[in-house]
C-alpha cells in the first residue's frame, strides 16, 4: 500500500521538485495511453472512418447493435468472439502445462540444463514476425518438415491454408510463449527453500507426493502470475494470425477484427474505425470480466496456500 | 535469518554510497534544478538522432524542383520499370528528387487512408482495381468503396482538363477513374483474370486438344494426370489466387457479370438456384481435383515460376503473369521453353460462352489534393502518359493498354487480341459485387472456390445454400 | 532471491534411490530432447533453406542443401535496406527505453514513497491500465492530428525538426518513439521494488544534503538495478519486435524497423523462400547473439521482476 509520507526532500521551493520530475512521465502516459483508451469508448458511438475530411457523426448504439444483434453479420462477430475464447482456453491451459513441465525438467541437476533453458526462451526474444516466418516455412505443405513428420504417422494437413489453420496458429502461439511461462515457474521453483524438499525426501515421499504437497503449494505466486498473464495475453494476441494466415473467414479473433475493420484490411477495404472501436470495447469487457474472475480465483488460492 | 543479514549489509553499503555521493556537495541549494536541466538535456540528445531529413532541397535552378512522394504496389516488373522511369525523370529535371515507396498490394487501402490523411504522399496508386464496386442504383444499405470515401473527404485532386488525360481512351477514364463528374484517377491498364495459360507442348505430348468445354477440360485433366503430369497450379499459399483463378469459371457460367450482381441483389438469381449449384459443384472440382497438391505451398509469384518448369498443363491466373513466361527482350530472365497461350477458362458446357475474356481495370494513379508540389505531380503524370513511354510500360507489365495508340507486342498480346476484338473489354463480377451491410462473411459466392480449397466446406449444395443465406441476411435487413 | 541468478542457481538433490534417479534422468532427457527438436527444428529449417537454390528448394524443401553457397545472403542483402532497418530498430529501442526508464523512475519513486499527494490514486491509475481497452484507434487520430492540439501542437512544431503541423507525428521517428514511452507493467514493477528499499536511505540522504534528483540518479537507480533490468528487458523486447504500430504509423522505407522491413520483404520476395530465409536469419542474428551473450542476465532479470511484481 502506498502510504503518504511527508516528503523528506521537501523544503522551501524544492517542495515541487517531485511533481516537476513526475510530470513528464505521467503526462505522456495520460496523453498516449489513458486518454486514447478512454476515447475508444466515445469513438465506438460514432461512424468515424479515420479518413481526414470525412464528417464524423454520432450513431448511438448502432455499432454495438451491428456487432451483436444483426443476424448473419453478427454471427460472424460472435464466432470470432467464441474463437477468441477457445484460443484463450487452449493456449492458457497447454502453455501453462508445457511451461511447468519444462521448468521442472530444467530445474534438475542435469547436464545441459542451461542449454535447454536458453533454447526454450529464444522465441520470446525473436518476436512474432520472425516466429511467424519461421513456422510458415516449417509448416510448408508438400514436403516441409512438419508435413514429413506427420506423414510418418500417416497423417496429412494443409496446415495454414486448410481448415486446421486456426489450430496451427495455436501451436505456434504456445511454442512462442512457453519459454516465458517456464522462466516464471523457474523463478518460483528456485525460491522454494531447499529444507522443505529435503525434509520431505527424508520422510520417504515419492516424486509425485513431493510435487503435490511441497512444490505445488509453494509455487503459488508463480502459478498465479502465469495463470493471469496467459489469460490476458492470449485474449489480446492476434499478430501471429496476421503473419501466418492473414484475415481469412473462419480464423479471425477479436483483436484482428479491430485492426482489420479500422484500417481497411477486411475484404471490402472500407475503414470503419467507429465499428472497430466498438469491437475493441467488447474485447475489453471480455478481458475485464475474465481477468477479474481469474484475479478472484487467484486471490482465493493465495489465501488457501499462503495464509 | 539469512535474509535479515543480507538486508543489513545492503543497507550499510547503500548508506556508504549516500555519503560518498552527496557528502561532497552538501551545500548546494539548486541541486534539483540542476538535475532537471540535465534531464532535459538528455532528452534533446537522444532526439537529435532522429532529426528529420526535412530539408527543402533549395535548388536555384529554373523549372521544376522539389521532392515528389510516389507510392506504388509491389509487382516486380512494374517496380523495376518505375524505378528506371523515375531516374530518367530526375535526370531530365535536375531540381527534382523522387521518393518512391513500394508496398504490398494488400496494404494499399491502409496506406492510402493513412498517408493521404496525413498529407504524406503526392502521387499514389489509389487502387489496383480501377474505381471498382461503385454503389449501383439497385443497391441500398451499402458502405461506399474506399476510393469514394477518399474522394468525398476531398483528399484526391480532380484531374479533369489536364491535357494528359486525353491520351487515354474514354472508357478507361470513365469506368476506371471518374466519379461524380470529376476525374480522380488515371487508369494505367486493363488486365484479364478470367483466362488460363495453356502449355501446348504438354497437351500435344499427352495427346489431347485444347479444351473448349467443361467436360473437355475434365477429360484433359484426367489425361494429363494419367500421364504423370499435373493439371493446374495456382498460388494457394496466398489464398486469393485460388478464387481469382476461378473467375473464368464464374464468367463462363454467367457471361453477363454485371447482370449476375444485379440479379443477386434483386432476387432474380440466387447462389443456390440451378445455375448457382452448378457453379459451386465446379468450384469444388476445380479446387479439390484440378489444382495440384503442391499449390498449397506456393505464393502467387512462385506458382507461375512452377508453371514455367513445364510439367503442369494449365495455370488459371491473371494475364499480368505472362511476363514471367515471356520476359522482356532486354531482361536476363529466361522465357518458358514451351509453346503457350492464354485462353478463357472453359467452364461452360456451351463453347460460345467460353470465348469471353473479361477482367478489371488495374492500377490507377491519383494525386493528393493538398500536395505541396502540384506542378511537379502533373509533370510526372504527363511524362508518364507520353505515348512511347506508356507503350513501353504496358508491354513491360503486360497490361492491356488503356491508351488507344499502344499495343501489346508479345505472345500474350497475340493470344488475347482476337478475343478482345470481338466484344469490348468488360469488367468482371469482382468489380461489381458489393455485399449489403449485415450480410454474412460467406455472401460473396464469387470466392467460393477458396472455401473448398481451405476446407471450409466439403459439400457444394451446403456451400451454395450458405452463400445465399448470408447474402439474404443483408438484403432483408 | 532478488538478485539470484536463476540460471546458475544450485540444484537440489531430492534424495531417492540411484536406480530411480537414473530412470528419472533418462525420462527427463527424452522429454527435453523432444521439446528441443521443436525449438531447433524451425531454426535449422531456416538455415537449410537459406543455402538452397530456388529450384532445389521446390524439389525438396526439407532435405539438406547440396552446396553451401551464400548467394541468397548477398542477394537478399542487396535487395533491401537492411542496415537502415537495423539502425532504426536500434534507435527506437535505445531511445524509447532510455527515456521511458528515466521518466518512470521519477514517477515510481514518489508513488512508492508517498511523496506526492494522491500517490495511491496514481498507482491505481497505472494498475487499471492493464484492463483498459486498446488505444489503437484514438491513438492513430492523436498522432495524425498532433499539430491540431491547442497550444501544445503549435508549441511543439515551432521548434521540433521532425513532423509538421499538417501531418502531425505520422511517419516520424519522434511519433513512433512517443508511442513507446509508457508501459504500466514496467512502472508497477518499479514501484513494488522501490518499496523494498528502506526509507532510512532517504533520511540519511537528506541529512547529507543530497538533492532529490541527484538521490534518484546516483543512489536509488543503482540499488534497484534488478528491477531496472527487468523493465528494460521487457520494454526493449517489446519495441524491437513491434509490428502493428510500425505498420500503421511508418510509411517510408527510411523509417522502417526490421519487423516492418521483413514483412515488406516477405510481401515482395515471399515466394523465394531461400532469399527470405536468408533475410530472416540476417535480421534476427544481432538480437540472437546479444541474447546468447546476455541470457543469464536477461532471464534472471525477468525472474527477479516476476517474483517482486
DSSP string, A174-207: HHHHHHHHHHHHHHHHHTS-HHHHHHHHHTT--H
Q: Cβ A26–C107 below 8 Å, yes or no?
A: yes
Residues in chain B within 8 Å Cβ distance of C141: none
Between CA C290 and CA C283 the distance in angstroms is 12
Residue B170: which of B443, B431, B404, B416 has the closest Cα? B404
ipTM for this prediction? 0.86
CB atoms within 10 A of CB A1: 6
What pLDDT was estimated at residue C304?
57
Q: How far apart are CA B397 and CA B407, in angstroms?
A: 12
Specify the range with the lowest mean pLDDT, choosing from B46-60, B119-133, B151-165: B46-60
User: What residues of A are in contact with residue B143 (Cβ under 8 Å)?
Assistant: 268, 270, 272
Nearest residue on chain A to C238, alpha-carbon basis: A127
Backbone φ and ψ of B437, nearest 5°: -55, 140
Look at residue C61 in the predicted model and tell me its pLDDT: 86
Per-residue pLDDT at B272 exceeds 70: yes
Rounded to whole angstroms, how far apart are CA atoms B355 and B345?
A: 8
Q: Which of C58, C168, C253 sits opposite B118 (nearest CB)?
A: C168
CA distance C215 to chain B (A): 8
Q: Does C135 touch chain A (CB under 8 A)?
A: yes
* Distance in angstroms (rounded) separating the CA atoms of residues B236 and B295: 5
Mutant choice from A14, A25, A49, A51 vs B, greatest count of B C-beta within 10 A: A51
Average pLDDT, chain B: 84
Local structure of B160: helix, strand or coil? coil
CB contact under 8 A, A284 and C6: no
The per-residue pLDDT for B337 is 92
- Count of CB atoms situated within 10 Å of the CB of C276: 24
State the pLDDT at residue C7.
Answer: 35
* Alpha helices (H) in C51-69, listed in sequence order: 54-59
Is the pLDDT assigned to residue A131 strictly greater than 60?
Answer: yes
Q: Give me the residue from A14, A125, A142 closest to C291, CB to CB.
A: A125
| Better-predicted residue by pLDDT, B342 or A209 | B342
Does B118 reach chain A within 8 Å, measured CB to CB? Answer: yes
- CB distance A126–C14 less than 8 Å? no
| Chain A residues near residue B130 by CB distance under 8 angstroms | none
Residues of chain C scoring pLDDT < 70: 1-17, 297, 299-309
- The length of chain B is 477
- CB contact under 8 Å between C200 and B76, yes or no, is no
**Domains of chain A by start residue, with CATH:** 71-251 (1.10.3720.10)
Give the residue with greater pLDDT, B116 vs B424: B116
In chain C, which residues have their Cβ closer than 8 Å to the Cβ of A148? 62
Distance of residue B11 Cα from the nearest chain C Cα, in angstroms: 8
CA distance C141 to C115: 35
Cβ contact C265:C79 at 8 Å: yes
> What is the mean pLDDT of the segment spanning A136-148?
89
Kindly report, residue by residue over A236-246, the tens digit of the pLDDT.
899 999 999 98
CA–CA dist B51, C172 (Å, integer)? 9
pTM of structure: 0.85
Q: What is the pLDDT of residues B314-328, one digit of tens each?
A: 999 998 888 889 887
Taking contacts as CB-CB distances below 8 angstroms, the residues of chain A near B145 are: 268-270
* Residue C75 exposure: Cα atoms within 13 Å on the Cβ side: 17
Residue B28: which pLDDT band, with cuts at 50, 70 and 90?
A: very low
CB contact under 8 A, B23 and C174: no
Decide if A22 and C244 are in contact by the 8 Å CB cutoff.
no
Cβ separation of C243 and A175 shorter than 8 Å?
no
- Is residue A124 within 8 Å of A134, Cβ to Cβ? no
Contact C171 B118 (CB under 8 A): yes
- What is the DSSP-derived secondary structure letter of residue B252? H
State how far the alpha carbon of B121 is from the alpha carbons of B67, B69, B118, C84, C169, in Å: 10, 5, 8, 21, 15
Contact with chain B for residue A50, Cβ under 8 A: yes
Which residues have C-beta within 8 Å of that of residue B284, sequence separation ≥ 6? Answer: B452, B458, B460, B463
Residues in chain A closer than 8 A to C283 (CB atoms): 130
Determine the pLDDT at residue B423. Answer: 56
How far CA A123 is from CA of A235, C3, C33, C263, in Å, comes to 19, 24, 17, 17
Element (H, E) at B360: strand B358-361
Looking at residue B422, what is its pLDDT? 52
Q: Which chains touch B (3 or more CB pairs under 8 A)?
A: A, C
How does residue B26 score in pLDDT terms, banded at 50, 70 and 90? very low
Read off the pLDDT of each residue in A199-227 and give the average, rounded to a whole number.
84
List the domains of chain C with CATH numbers: 6-16+76-308 (1.10.3720.10)
Q: In chain B, whose CA is at the least distance from the CA of C198?
A: B11
CB contact set of B425 (below 8 Å; sequence gap of 6+) = B171, B190, B192, B357, B358, B359, B400
β-partners of residue C164 are: C168
Contact A7 C115 (CB under 8 A): yes
As a whole number, mean pLDDT of residues B44-68 equals 49
Cell triple for B207: 495427346
CA distance A297 to chain B (A): 31
Distance from CA of A272 to the nearest CA of B (A): 10
B22 in contact with chain A, both atoms CB, cutoff 8 A: no
Is a pLDDT exceeding 50 seen at residue A102?
yes
In angstroms, the CA B450 to CA A234 distance is: 28
> What residues does B316 pair with on adjacent strands?
B196
HEC-encoded secondary structure of B202-228: HHHHHCCCCCCCHHHHHHHHHHHHHCC
Return the number of other C-beta atoms located less than 10 Å from residue C266's C-beta. Answer: 22
Query: Which range is least confidently modeled, B28-32, B97-101, C109-113?
Result: B28-32
Which chain A residues are Cβ-neighbours of C206 within 8 angstroms?
8-9
Chains near C (3 or more Cβ pairs under 8 Å): A, B
Per the rule left: phi > 0, alpha: psi between -120 and 50, beta: everything else, A139 is alpha
The backbone region for B425, taken as left when phi is positive above 0, alpha when psi lies in -120 to 50, beta otherwise, is beta
- Helix (H) / strand (E) element for A40: namely helix A35-43
pLDDT category of residue B419 using cuts at 50, 70 and 90: low
Interface-testing mutation among B76, B118, B371, with chain C (most C C-beta atoms within 10 A): B118
Q: Which of C147, C306, C308, C309 to mutate to test the interface with A (most CBs of A within 10 A)?
A: C306
Kindly report the average pLDDT of chain A as a whole number.
Answer: 88
CB-CB neighbors (< 8 A) of B120 in chain C: 167, 170-171, 251
Structural domains in chain B plus CATH codes: 65-191+360-418 (3.40.190.10), 195-356+435-476 (3.40.190.10)
The pLDDT of residue B176 is 86
pLDDT at A209 over 90: no
Determine whether the interchain pair A9/C287 forms a contact, defined as Cβ–Cβ distance below 8 Å: no
Contacts of A259 in chain C (CB under 8 A): 136, 244
Contact at CB, C137 and A21, closer than 8 angstroms: no
Contacts of C55 in chain B (CB under 8 A): 309
Amino acid at each position: 500500500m502506498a502510504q503518504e509520507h511527508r516528503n523528506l526532500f521537501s523544503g522551501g521551493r524544492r517542495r515541487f521538485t517531485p511533481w516537476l520530475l513526475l510530470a513528464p512521465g505521467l503526462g505522456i502516459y495520460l496523453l498516449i495511453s489513458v486518454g486514447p483508451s478512454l476515447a475508444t469508448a466515445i469513438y465506438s458511438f460514432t461512424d468515424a472512418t479515420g479518413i481526414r475530411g470525412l464528417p464524423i457523426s454520432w450513431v448511438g448504439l448502432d455499432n454495438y447493435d451491428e456487432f451483436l444483434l444483426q443476424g448473419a453479420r453478427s454471427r460472424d462477430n460472435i464466432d470470432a468472439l467464441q474463437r477468441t475464447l477457445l484460443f484463450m482456453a487452449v493456449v492458457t491451459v497447454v502453455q501453462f502445462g508445457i511451461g511447468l513441465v519444462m521448468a521442472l525438467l530444467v530445474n534438475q541437476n542435469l547436464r545441459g540444463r542451461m542449454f535447454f533453458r536458453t533454447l526454450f526462451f529464444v522465441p520470446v526474444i525473436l518476436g512474432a514476425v520472425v516466429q511467424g516466418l519461421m513456422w510458415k516455412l516449417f509448416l510448408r505443405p508438400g514436403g516441409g518438415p512438419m508435413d514429413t513428420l506427420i506423414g510418418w504417422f500417416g497423417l496429412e494437413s494443409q496446415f495454414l491454408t486448410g481448415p486446421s489453420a486456426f489450430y496451427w496458429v495455436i501451436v505456434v502461439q504456445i511454442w512462442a510463449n512457453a519459454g516465458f511461462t517456464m522462466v516464471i515457474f523457474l523463478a518460483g521453483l528456485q525460491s522454494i527453500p531447499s529444507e522443505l524438499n529435503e525434509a520431505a525426501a527424508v520422510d520417504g515421499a515419492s516424486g509425485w507426493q513431493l510435487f503435490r504437497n511441497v512444490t505445488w503449494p509453494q509455487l503459488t505466486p508463480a502459478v498465479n502470475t502465469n495463470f493471469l498473464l496467459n489469460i490476458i495475453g492470449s485474449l489480446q494476441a492476434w499478430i501471429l494470425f496476421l503473419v501466418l494466415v492473414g484475415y481469412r473467414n473462419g480464423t479471425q479473433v477479436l483483436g484482428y477484427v479491430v485492426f482489420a475493420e479500422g484500417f481497411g484490411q477486411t475484404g471490402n477495404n472500407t475503414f470503419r474505425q467507429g465499428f472497430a472501436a466498438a469491437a475493441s470495447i467488447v474485447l475489453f469487457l471480455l478481458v475485464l470480466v475474465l481477468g477479474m474472475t481469474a484475479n478472484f480465483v487467484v486471490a482465493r488460492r493465495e489465501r488457501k496456500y499462503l495464509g | 535469518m539469512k535474509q535479515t543479514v543480507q538486508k543489513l549489509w545492503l543497507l550499510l553499503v547503500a548508506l556508504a554510497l549516500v555519503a560518498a555521493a552527496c557528502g561532497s556537495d552538501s551545500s548546494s541549494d539548486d541541486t534539483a534544478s540542476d538535475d532537471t536541466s540535465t534531464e532535459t538535456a538528455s532528452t534533446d540528445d537522444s532526439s537529435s538522432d532522429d532529426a528529420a531529413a526535412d530539408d527543402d532541397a533549395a535548388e536555384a535552378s529554373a523549372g521544376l524542383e522539389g521532392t515528389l512522394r510516389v507510392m506504388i504496389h509491389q509487382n516486380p516488373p512494374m517496380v523495376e520499370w518505375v524505378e528506371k522511369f523515375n531516374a530518367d525523370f530526375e535526370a531530365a529535371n535536375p531540381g527534382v528528387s523522387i521518393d518512391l515507396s513500394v508496398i504490398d498490394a494488400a496494404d494499399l487501402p491502409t496506406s492510402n487512408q493513412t498517408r493521404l490523411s496525413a498529407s504524406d504522399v503526392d502521387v499514389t496508386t489509389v487502387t489496383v482495381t480501377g474505381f471498382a464496386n461503385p454503389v449501383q442504383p439497385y443497391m441500398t444499405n451499402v458502405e461506399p468503396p474506399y476510393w469514394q470515401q477518399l474522394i468525398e473527404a476531398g483528399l484526391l485532386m480532380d484531374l479533369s482538363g489536364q491535357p494528359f488525360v486525353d491520351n487515354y481512351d474514354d472508357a478507361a477514364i470513365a469506368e476506371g477513374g471518374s466519379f461524380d463528374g470529376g476525374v480522380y484517377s488515371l487508369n494505367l491498364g486493363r488486365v484479364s483474370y478470367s483466362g488460363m495459360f495453356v502449355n501446348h507442348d504438354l497437351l500435344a505430348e499427352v495427346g489431347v486438344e485444347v479444351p473448349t468445354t467443361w467436360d473437355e477440360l475434365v477429360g484433359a485433366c484426367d489425361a494429363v494426370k494419367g500421364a504423370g503430369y499435373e493439371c493446374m497450379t495456382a498460388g494457394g499459399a496466398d489464398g486469393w489466387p485460388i478464387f481469382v483463378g476461378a473467375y473464368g469459371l464464374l464468367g463462363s457460367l454467367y457471361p453477363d457479370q454485371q447482370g449476375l450482381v444485379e440479379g443477386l441483389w434483386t432476387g432474380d438469381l440466387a447462389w443456390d438456384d440451378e445455375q448457382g449449384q452448378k457453379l459451386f459443384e465446379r468450384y469444388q472440382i476445380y479446387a479439390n481435383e484440378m489444382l495440384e497438391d503442391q499449390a498449397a505451398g506456393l505464393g502467387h509469384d512462385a506458382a507461375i515460376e512452377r508453371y514455367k518448369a513445364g510439367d503442369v498443363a494449365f495455370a488459371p491466373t491473371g494475364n499480368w503473369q505472362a511476363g514471367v513466361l515471356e520476359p522482356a527482350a532486354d531482361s536476363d530472365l529466361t522465357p518458358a521453353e514451351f509453346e503457350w497461350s492464354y485462353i478463357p477458362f472453359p467452364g461452360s458446357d456451351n463453347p460460345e460462352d467460353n470465348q469471353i475474356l473479361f477482367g478489371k481495370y488495374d492500377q490507377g494513379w491519383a494525386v493528393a489534393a493538398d500536395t505541396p508540389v502540384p506542378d511537379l505531380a502533373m509533370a510526372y503524370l504527363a511524362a508518364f502518359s507520353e505515348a512511347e513511354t506508356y507503350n513501353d510500360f504496358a508491354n513491360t507489365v503486360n497490361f492491356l493498354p488503356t491508351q488507344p495508340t499502344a499495343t501489346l507486342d508479345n505472345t500474350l498480346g497475340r493470344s488475347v487480341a482476337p478475343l478482345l476484338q470481338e466484344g469490348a473489354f468488360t469488367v468482371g463480377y469482382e468489380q461489381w459485387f458489393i455485399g449489403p451491410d449485415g450480410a454474412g462473411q460467406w455472401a460473396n459466392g464469387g470466392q467460393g472456390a477458396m472455401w473448398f480449397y481451405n476446407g471450409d466446406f466439403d459439400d457444394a449444395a451446403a456451400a451454395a445454400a450458405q452463400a445465399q443465406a448470408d447474402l439474404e441476411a443483408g438484403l432483408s435487413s | 532471491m532478488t538478485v539470484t541468478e536463476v540460471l546458475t542457481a544450485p540444484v537440489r538433490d531430492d534424495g531417492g534411490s540411484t536406480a530411480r534417479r537414473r530412470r528419472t534422468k533418462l525420462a527427463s532427457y527424452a522429454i527435453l530432447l523432444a521439446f528441443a527438436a521443436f525449438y531447433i527444428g524451425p531454426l535449422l529449417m531456416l538455415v537449410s533453406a537459406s543455402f538452397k537454390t530456388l529450384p532445389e528448394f521446390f524439389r525438396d524443401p526439407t532435405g539438406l542443401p547440396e552446396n553451401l553457397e551464400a548467394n541468397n545472403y548477398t542477394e537478399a542483402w542487396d535487395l533491401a535496406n537492411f542496415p537502415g532497418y537495423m539502425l532504426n530498430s536500434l534507435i527506437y529501442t535505445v531511445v524509447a527505453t532510455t527515456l521511458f526508464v528515466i521518466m518512470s523512475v521519477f514517477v515510481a519513486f514518489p508513488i512508492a514513497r508517498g511523496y506526492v499527494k494522491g500517490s495511491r490514486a496514481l498507482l491505481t491509475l497505472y494498475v487499471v491500465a492493464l484492463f483498459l481497452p486498446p488505444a489503437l484507434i484514438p491513438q492513430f487520430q492523436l498522432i495524425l492530428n498532433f499539430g491540431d492540439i491547442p497550444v501544445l501542437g503549435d508549441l511543439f512544431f515551432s521548434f521540433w525538426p521532425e513532423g509538421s503541423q499538417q501531418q502531425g507525428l505520422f511517419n516520424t521517428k519522434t511519433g513512433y518513439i512517443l508511442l513507446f514511452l509508457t508501459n504500466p507493467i514496467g512502472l508497477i514493477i518499479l514501484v513494488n521494488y522501490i518499496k523494498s528499499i528502506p526509507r532510512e536511505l532517504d533520511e540519511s540522504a537528506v541529512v547529507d544534503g543530497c538533492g532529490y534528483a541527484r538521490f534518484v540518479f546516483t543512489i536509488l537507480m543503482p540499488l534497484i538495478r534488478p528491477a531496472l533490468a527487468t523493465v528494460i528487458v521487457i520494454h526493449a523486447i517489446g519495441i524491437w519486435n513491434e509490428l502493428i504500430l510500425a505498420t500503421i504509423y511508418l510509411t517510408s522505407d527510411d523509417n522502417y524497423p526490421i519487423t516492418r522491413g521483413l514483412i515488406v520483404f516477405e510481401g515482395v520476395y515471399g515466394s523465394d523462400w531461400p532469399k527470405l530465409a536468408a533475410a530472416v536469419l540476417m535480421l534476427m542474428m544481432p538480437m540472437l547473439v546479444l541474447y546468447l551473450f546476455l541470457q543469464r542476465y536477461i532471464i534472471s532479470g525477468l525472474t527477479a521482476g516476476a517474483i517482486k511484481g
